[in-house]
């Protein structure tokens, strides 16, 4: 499945005194694995966000991230709804503009490791074959210098299932002759 999403997250803890929130969007792809009957897989994601300042000392900033993760797909009965928790890890690159003389966080670009949890809810309407809509809470933690930045928010997106077709060669038996 390939898709687009929009996201918004609020900062928690000490970091919230500098950056109050971030909002943006991204692209994602999910690949099913043969484990558990194809109901599990791996994901890759690229996202970009604007950082919103919560202090007069910070002008704002931007961030870009790349994540890779694992997921498990749980259909909710025979309905068009499903639950798909996903755990990802990756790299976040942030550019922050601060006022001169700010010692805690000088202006510049920062590269950090991040972990993200997204327990998403999916809806696949029968009338839109191949499309899937996602609504998910999101929790992100970025460990930095003996502390951690925490973000909590949400993601909304749409995905399209791209599947290859199996082709049986005429005249071959199942034994490969």
Burial class (CB in 10 A: 0-12, 13-18, 19+), 41: buried
Would you give per-residue pLDDT tens digits along the chain (177 residues)?
A: 899 999 999 999 887 878 889 999 999 999 989 888 888 999 999 999 999 988 877 888 899 999 999 999 999 999 999 999 999 999 999 888 877 666 666 677 889 999 999 999 999 999 999 899 999 999 999 998 778 889 999 999 999 988 754 434 444 444 444
List for the chain the helix, strand, coil content (%; round to 5).
Answer: 5, 65, 30
CB 155 within 8 A of CB 16: no
CA neighbor of 104 nearest in space, from 55, 70, 139: 55
Which pTM was predicted? 0.83
- Say how many C-beta atoms besides its own lie within 10 A of residue 156's C-beta: 15
């Amino acid at each position: 499945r390939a898709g687009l999403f929009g996201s918004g997250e609020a900062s928690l803890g000490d970091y919230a005194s500098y950056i109050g929130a971030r909002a943006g969007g991204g692209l994602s792809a999910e690949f099913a694995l043969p484990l558990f009957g194809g109901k599990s897989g791996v994901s890759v994601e690229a996202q970009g966000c604007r950082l919103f300042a919560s202090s007069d000392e910070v002008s704002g900033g931007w961030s870009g991230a790349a994540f890779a993760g694992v997921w498990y797909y749980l259909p909710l009965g025979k309905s068009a709804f499903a639950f798909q928790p996903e755990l990802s890890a990756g790299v976040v690159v942030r550019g922050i503009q601060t006022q001169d003389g700010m010692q805690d966080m000088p202006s510049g670009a920062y590269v950090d490791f991040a972990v993200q949890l997204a327990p998403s809810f999916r809806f696949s309407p029968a009338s839109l074959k191949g499309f899937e809509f996602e609504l998910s809470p999101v929790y992100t933690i970025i460990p930095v210098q003996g502390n951690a930045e925490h973000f909590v928010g949400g993601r909304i997106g749409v995905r399209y299932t791209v599947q290859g077709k199996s082709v049986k060669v005429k005249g071959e038996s199942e034994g490969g002759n």
